[in-house]
Amino acid sequence: MNKKIRKAIFAGSFDPITNGHLDIICRASKIFDELRIGVLHNPNKKGMFTFEERVELIEKCTNHLDNIKIVSFNGLLVNYCEEHGIDTLVRGIRNGTDVEYELQMAHMNKELNPNIETVILATNPKYSFISSSLIKEVLNFDADIKNLVPEVVLEELKRKTNRGK
Ligand code: PNS
C-alpha cells in the first residue's frame, strides 16, 4: 500500500519573515513530507514589503530546506488547501493571546472545511515576543534587531529604512 504523502501549509503575510516564522518552518518541514509556505497576496493591503520582496526574502531564508514550496494565495486558505490536496494548516503560538486567536481561526476553518486539520506548534520561547509588526515599530527607534530576523531580512530592513543595527 502506498504511504500517504503529508502536505501542510504554513500561511501568513510575512511582512517580513522573522526568526519566529523560520523556527516554525524548520520544525514543520521535519514533521511533514511537503511544506508549503503560503504568502498572502492581497493587493489592497499595503505592507512594508511588496509581495515579490516578501517571497524573495522567504526563498533566501529557506533555501537549505528541500521539502519547501513557496506559494501565493488569496481568498480562503481552506479553499487553497482543498484545491491543492493539502490537509493540514500549521500555525505557531507564542502566548495566551495567540492561543485564543488561533483556536478561533482553527474552529472557523474546521467549520468551513472539516477535512482540514490545524496543527499548532508552540513557538520556541526565545522567539515568543517577536512579531513582524513589533520589529518594524522598534526599528523606527534604531533598535538592535539582529537576533530577531534572519540576516538577509536585517540587511533589507536597514536598506529600506536607513535605520537599525
Ligand atoms: O500573518 P498572519 O496574520 O499570521 O496570517 C493570517 C492568515 C493570512 C493565515 C489568515 O488571516 C488567513 O488564513 N487569511 C486568509 C483568509 C481566510 O482563510 N480567513 C479565514 C481564517 S479563519
Is 41 one of the catalytic residues?
no
Report the candidate in 12, 54, 15, 21 with the shortest Cα–Cα distance to residue 127: 21
* Alpha helix stretches (DSSP H) within the chain: 19-31, 51-62, 77-84, 96-112, 132-139, 151-161
Active site residue 94: yes
* Model confidence pLDDT, tens digit, residues 120-154: 999 999 999 999 999 999 999 999 999 999 999 99
- Higher per-residue confidence, 3 vs 85: 85
Which residue minimizes the CA distance to atom 1 of ligand 1?
12
Supply the pLDDT for residue 1. Answer: 63
Instruction: Give the pTM.
Output: 0.96
**Mean pLDDT, range 56-60, rounded to an integer:** 98
Mean pLDDT of 35-40: 98
φ/ψ bin of 149: left (φ > 0), alpha (ψ from -120 to 50), beta (otherwise)? beta
Mean pLDDT of the chain: 95
What residues contact 3, with CB distance under 8 A and at least 6 apart? none
- Gap between the Cα atoms of 61 and 56, Å rounded: 9
